Amino acid sequence: MSRLTRATGIARSIAMYYGIPLRARRLRRFYAQFVTPGGLAFDVGAHVGNRVRCWRRLGARVVAIEPQADFVRLLRLLFGRDGGVAVVATALGRQAGRAELLVSERTPTVTTLSRAWIGAVQTEPSFRAVRWSAAAEVELTTLDALIERFGEPQFVKIDVEGYEAEVLGGLSRPVRALSFEFLPAMRSVALDCVERLESLGRYRYNWSTGESHRLAASEWCDASGVRAMLAALCASDGSGDVYARLAD
The per-residue pLDDT for range 204-226, each reduced to its tens digit, is: 999 999 888 999 999 999 999 99
Q: What's the number of domains the chain is made of?
A: 1
**Residue 167 confidence (pLDDT):** 98
**Residue 125 confidence (pLDDT):** 76
DSSP 210: T
- What angle is formed at CA 94 by the lines to CA 102 and CA 62, rounded to 5 degrees? 80
**Residue 16 confidence (pLDDT):** 67
In our burial notation (b when 16+ CB lie closer than 10 A, e otherwise), range 2-13 reads eeeebeebbeeb
Q: For the residues 146-174, what does the mean pLDDT come to?
A: 97
Domain that holds residue 241: 3-246
Distance of CA 188 to the CA centre of its chain: 17
The per-residue pLDDT for range 70-87, each reduced to its tens digit, is 999 999 999 999 999 999
136 CB-contact burial (10 Å; exposed 0-12 / middle 13-18 / buried 19+): exposed
Q: Are 159 and 65 in contact (CB under 8 A)?
A: no
Rg (CA), the chain: 17
DSSP 242: E
The CATH number assigned to the domain holding 72 equals 3.40.50.150
**Residue 50 confidence (pLDDT):** 94
